[in-house]
Structure 1
Amino acid sequence: MSLFSRMLGAAALAAVAVLSGCAGVNTTQSGSIGVNRTQYMSSMVPEAQLVQEAGQQYSQIIDEARKQKALDRDANLVARVNAITKRLVAQVGVFRPDAASWDWEVHVLSVDEVNAWCMPGGKMAVYTGLVNQIKPTDAELAAIMGHEMAHALREHARERVSQQMVTNIGLSVLAIATGSSAASDLGGQLSNVMFTLPNSRTHETEADRMGVELAARAGYDPRAAVTLWQKMGAAAGGKAPPEFMSTHPSAETRINELQQASAQVMPLYEAAIKK
């Protein structure tokens, strides 16, 4: 059999592996904002296993920050972040009831980078560079944290790891035909999607919309997501936005979408502040 024929056969096997290895799911309820895209998750990336791996990586990050005396140094900022997180977590059940019982945790890391993130299972961090450079109001900080929490609720990391894993199956099958080899591990894949690769436009849009609703339900003005992005654009000075907020369309497009989303959930915000 020729090399070309072997590669065609390998490609066919890879396609079968991809199709059989993923199942269509919807990790969250749609909420008022209407996020209901079907997602495809690989059976090779169980949710529980990814959450466990995330917890281990988070512990390592926190331990390292503690050793470097970069963990929760500003008591007032820590209290502020915790208060906002508590109000947002109280609203996660609207998207997925099981998330209310997640072991949510947040820390402030003294890092100059403009960044914040939320791992699978609810392990979060906010960098002081974000607060010092953007100077967000509480509502703007809620928009950031709600956005990051939405990534976890929607299991975007698991979805992206699934995509990488099934792609690696195809590459491995092709490697057999070409005589090369390839291997990967779940922990490395999670680290890659969490801290190296930018989020896709679809994931960013979903996180924007869900984050706006979480903030509104928690009693934070959802329009702050718009002013936040305007500050992000100003801070970037025409350069690319921070990695954790990366996206393909222009800032203007994103602002327009956030304006529409915030208007959609304004009744939720108005109801929340009347309670």
Structure 2
Amino acid sequence: MKYKSMLKQAVLASSMLALTACETVQTTQGGVVGVNREQKMAVSADALEQAAREQYAQLIAAEARKGTLNTNPAQVARIKAIAARIVPQTNVFRPDARSWAWEVNVLTSPEVNAWCMPGGKMAVYSGLIEKLQATDDELAAVMGHEIAHALREHARERASQQMVASGVISVGSALLGLGQIGQQGAQYAYMGLVGLPNSRAHETEADRLGIELAARAGYDPRAAVTLWQKMGQLGGGGTPKFLSTHPSQADRLSDLTAYSQRVMPLYEQARKTR
């Protein structure tokens, strides 16, 4: 019993050591939607941004070789025009984002997808535009959501969580003699109890910041609701909520409806000045 107690204390000590290596940061200001959660980072922003730039350059070069990069001038002009209105609004959440080397491209693919890497490197897939028959307001909701992930540095936060968890699990498994099966089980437990709920939190934060970005840019924030309704119609049967990295469809639509109403005054004001 004493030996097990000492082992538990050692695991706890290793956990505390890993946590103390993390930097507590507030990546963005709260805005009207009030996203104020502090984040613990163990990975440097510079390291992640450099990796993102390299990955983005490789991906764009590969798309160019395949002839799938910016093949539809009308789509490209449309996406770039929306980005040109949203990007200046990032100043509300973090002033340094205005100096990022923003870039947006359209990739010809049936995939319904879009993303924004750390540092402002973005891509929108033609499948998202065409399969959803997305309006400009709906595209602004998608792009605002993806930009919000970059502003909140969610990729860096996930990498930091995985780094800390991996170190703690490895040390703990060795000390407790869990072996390969035990360590794998601990990793699954981490993902189920910590990893996936945090991912859902990231999605909710990106939804809320995204609709504020869109509203400030003069796009109707209520389009986020119709966008995710269309997404739900494409998706078929839903994944069980406790195993999903996204909020349930009902939860997401309820939250987006409430927060789109909260930012409606920003949208109305932006319309007057355009």
**Structure 1 residue 29 corresponds to structure 2 residue 29:** yes
The corresponding residue for 1:141 is 139
1:42-78 alpha-carbon deviations (Å, 9 max, x no partner): 1xx1111111110001111111111111111111101
Please give the secondary structure, in 2, of the residue aligned with 1:24: strand
| Residues 70 and 110, structure 1, Cα contact 8 Å, conserved in 2 | yes
State the alpha-carbon separation in 2 of the partners of residues 176 and 199 from structure 1: 26
| Residues 17 and 170, structure 1, Cα contact 8 Å, conserved in 2 | no
Q: How far does residue 253 in structure 1 lie from its aligned partner after superposition?
A: 1.8
State the alpha-carbon separation in 1 of the partners of residues 170 and 3 from structure 2: 16
TM-score of the superposed pair, with normalisation by structure 2: 0.85
Q: How far does residue 172 in structure 1 lie from its aligned partner after superposition?
A: 3.6
| Residues 116 and 149, structure 2, Cα contact 8 Å, conserved in 1 | yes
Please give the secondary structure, in 2, of the residue aligned with 1:107: strand
The corresponding residue for 2:17 is 17
Which amino acid is 2:157 matched to? E
Please give the secondary structure, in 2, of the residue aligned with 1:161: helix
Unaligned runs of 5+ in 1: 182-196
Task: Quickly say closer, same or farther: Cα 1:176–1:126, change in 2 above 3 A.
Answer: same
State the alpha-carbon separation in 1 of the partners of residues 178 and 246 from structure 2: 37
The corresponding residue for 2:48 is 50
Unaligned runs of 5+ in 2: 181-195
Which amino acid is 1:12 matched to? L
Task: Quickly say closer, same or farther: Cα 1:236–1:148, change in 2 above 3 A.
Answer: same
**RMSD, matched Cα:** 2.4
State the alpha-carbon separation in 1 of the partners of residues 83 and 67 from structure 2: 23
State the alpha-carbon separation in 2 of the partners of residues 240 and 145 from structure 1: 24
Please give the secondary structure, in 1, of the residue aligned with 2:70: coil
Please give the secondary structure, in 2, of the residue aligned with 1:90: helix
Task: Quickly say closer, same or farther: Cα 1:248–1:212, change in 2 above 3 A.
Answer: closer
Which amino acid is 1:40 matched to? K
| Residues 17 and 166, structure 1, Cα contact 8 Å, conserved in 2 | no
State the alpha-carbon separation in 2 of the partners of residues 89 and 36 from structure 1: 21
Task: Quickly say closer, same or farther: Cα 1:34–1:272, change in 2 above 3 A.
Answer: same
Please give the secondary structure, in 2, of the residue aligned with 1:34: coil
Please give the secondary structure, in 2, of the residue aligned with 1:200: helix
The corresponding residue for 2:213 is 214
User: Per residue, is there more helix in 1 or in 2?
Assistant: 2
1:197-225 alpha-carbon deviations (Å, 9 max, x no partner): 89711111110000000000000011100
Counting aligned pairs with the same residue, the percent is 55
Which amino acid is 1:209 matched to? R
Q: How far does residue 122 in structure 1 lie from its aligned partner after superposition?
A: 0.8
- Count the aligned residue pairs: 254
State the alpha-carbon separation in 2 of the partners of residues 52 and 140 from structure 1: 31
TM-score of the superposed pair, with normalisation by structure 1: 0.85
1:221-266 alpha-carbon deviations (Å, 9 max, x no partner): 111001111111112133459xxx95133x1221111111111011
